[in-house]
Structure 1
């Protein structure tokens, strides 16, 4: 099937919310060797985000059920644990697939700064998702890989993208979440979020209305996390709430 035919099928799959099909066709588009445009890049991202998002949500639910049954002394705990592990393997395999596409195809063909930064952030995000279920050496490996990719994306965006660029803000948002949740460094997470808010605040009034609205929405996500993390740092007891991250 030709590239344009695969792209057409990917659009159909996205419209009908057939995300497994969407990533199947977008992999074909990626493997054709041509650089993706913004629409194609977002199709790929939406497909994988929905698939992995489902795995992450299910895994968290299973982890809670497992803890509940453990406390109750369930006789079927082994079945539940094995099921959770199967889900972990599916999540890890999908995230590995994404990072390999990025390393082998997407980064080598990326010519613009925003594309390179986007793919580095995407690689870091999917390593972070793996870190949520990984343990021991696997955890350390994916956290280190995520950290390097976030740092490279952040440095590139700071050096070459405007303060209000959506990719730059998305990197700041997800990198700060990584610091808070994976590295357990709340002060650094708050520092990153606050710096992005301050930099955007200085120029948001100079933007066209549509871009200003998008920027303000991203700034609000950063602010929401900042307030959440500040509250959790001040309060003792109670489970931490999930931070907000960019959806693309």
Structure 2
């Protein structure tokens, strides 16, 4: 089981507060890699992220990963277009892959550290989902044994997150719906288990629609596209399954 860490020394708190403020400023200015570096100062000090820190962390991870993925696509396009030698094209792809893997590793490392110090079930689910998401992305770009390890750990983190969410987080909560959306995608993309992917997605839809209406309009706006994505995935996956069984 997880062991509770000792409280953060008082002398470390001002440094963490400054780093947190700098992370928020960097995120506002679009310097997402810098924001993550500042958040690592907070995390390395053993402190628990505030809700604001968690928001900055989530946004910055997504932006850093998206930028690395765009560099990969650019490298692929240049290689396809025949720009430069074959060796140069392969070097660009290798560099882009390393940047993608590094972005994943930063997100996984910070999430793992925060998982040890978070004081709420919602925080636990959030960081398990974050670990699962970036392990899933890592599995898409890693090779050989590292690929297998990443995809299995991703599945396990999704399952653990769902076990924690069940009974503690409402079935129509955006975090829970998003968790199940990505869990289903994991089973489809990484394990080619269409039946399990459909079962997870359909279960999420049934639970979300059966839950009492949430009074918060902002929450509805956040969860609506997730429900739409689940529905679309189920439709597409059933078509794939039918074609395989034909």
The equivalent of 2:150 in structure 1 is 142
The equivalent of 1:243 in structure 2 is none
Mapping of residues 151-170 of structure 1, within 5 Å:
151-170=159-178
- The secondary structure found in structure 2 opposite 1:205 is coil
Structure 1 residue 227: Cα displacement: 2.6
Which of 115, 126, 129 pairs up with 1:121? 129
The superposition leaves residues 157-201 of structure 1 with CA deviations (integer Å, 9 ceiling, x where unpaired) of 124211112221111011111111111112211211111111010
The superposition leaves residues 39-95 of structure 1 with CA deviations (integer Å, 9 ceiling, x where unpaired) of 2111111111111122223324534654x35xx8x8712211121111111221232
Q: Is contact 1:19-1:51 (8 Å) kept?
A: yes
2: CA distance, partners of 1:75 / 1:216: 46
- Say if 2:185 is the partner of 1:172: no
- TM-score, normalised with respect to structure 1: 0.84
1: CA distance, partners of 2:214 / 2:20: 36
User: Considering only aligned residues, what root-mean-square deviation do their CA atoms show, in Å?
Assistant: 2.3
- Say if 2:85 is the partner of 1:76: yes
The superposition leaves residues 124-149 of structure 1 with CA deviations (integer Å, 9 ceiling, x where unpaired) of 11111111112221111111111111
Report the number of matched residues. Answer: 231
- Say if 2:30 is the partner of 1:17: yes
Q: Which runs of 5+ in 1 are unaligned?
A: 237-248
- TM-score, normalised with respect to structure 2: 0.84
- Say if 2:224 is the partner of 1:211: no
- The secondary structure found in structure 2 opposite 1:149 is helix
The equivalent of 1:26 in structure 2 is 39
Mapping of residues 194-205 of structure 1, within 5 Å:
194-205=202-213
The equivalent of 2:101 in structure 1 is 92
Q: Is contact 2:24-2:53 (8 Å) kept?
A: no
The equivalent of 1:239 in structure 2 is none
